[in-house]
Amino acid sequence: MPPLLMASSSPYRRELLARLQLPFDSQAPDIDESHQPDEPAEALVRRLAEAKARALSAQYPHHLIIGSDQVAVLDDQVLGKPHTFERAQQQLRSASGRSVTFLTGLALLDSASGQCQVDCVPFTVHFRTLDDACIQRYLQREQPYDCAGSFKSEGLGISLFRSTEGSDATSLIGLPLIRLVDMLLAAGVELP
């Protein structure tokens, strides 16, 4: 099996990939993550996932390189990482009592052959009705300012949900493991 590389600095993605019990390294790619004019959210995450993987292919010419990118979408508006309490509060107010779809782009690049598998895995979160006191308590406790949608589903953020909908809950955290296993198997990796 070629060595495996995660094109990401995300501790959440590294933790998820470790579940597969395969040896891997990780490195952050240096790419421009800007939206292109009129680019749909699904096209954006597919493009960025592949760009992240390809950005490291020259440095790692005999690897399987995993790229991933995620956005949250509410009313056709892309919600980025909030970075501040105020923006996180606004995102959660907007999501209150509504549904937010998370689109996770996933790419597996065989840097030796140049072949790249690319997909997008959707996952929808249906939020409870959240009052300002609830939002404030949550943000003060978990501080999810580096997370699209302003919550951590693997932590206390689950208390904000009424229900979820999708084929792979790990996609919500940023790396859809079920789809990744499909890609790894197609690339000749033996699992488990």
CATH code of 99's domain: 3.90.950.10
151 domain residue, yes or no: yes
122 domain residue, yes or no: yes
49 domain residue, yes or no: yes
139 domain residue, yes or no: yes
Active site residue 69: yes
Which pTM does this prediction carry? 0.91
Structural domain total, the chain: 1
Number of helical H runs and strand E runs in the chain: 6, 7
Mean pLDDT of 23-42: 93
192 domain residue, yes or no: no
In order of 20, 87, 163, the CA distances from 106 in angstroms are 16, 27, 24
Assess whether pLDDT exceeds 90 at residue 96.
Answer: yes
Give me the pLDDT at residue 126, please. 97
| Catalytic residue from among 25, 30, 69, 76 | 69
Assess whether pLDDT exceeds 90 at residue 143.
Answer: yes
191 domain residue, yes or no: no
Q: Which domain holds residue 127?
A: 4-186
Measure the CA–CA gap between 159 and 165, rounded to whole angstroms: 16
Instruction: Read off the pLDDT band of 35 (50, 70, 90).
Output: confident
Assess whether pLDDT exceeds 90 at residue 167.
Answer: yes
Q: Which residue in the block uniquely carries the two structure tokens 């292109």? A: 36
Measure the CA–CA gap between 115 and 109, rounded to whole angstroms: 6
Nearest CA to 142 out of 82, 70, 78, 68 is that of: 82
Run of H or E including 5: strand 4-6
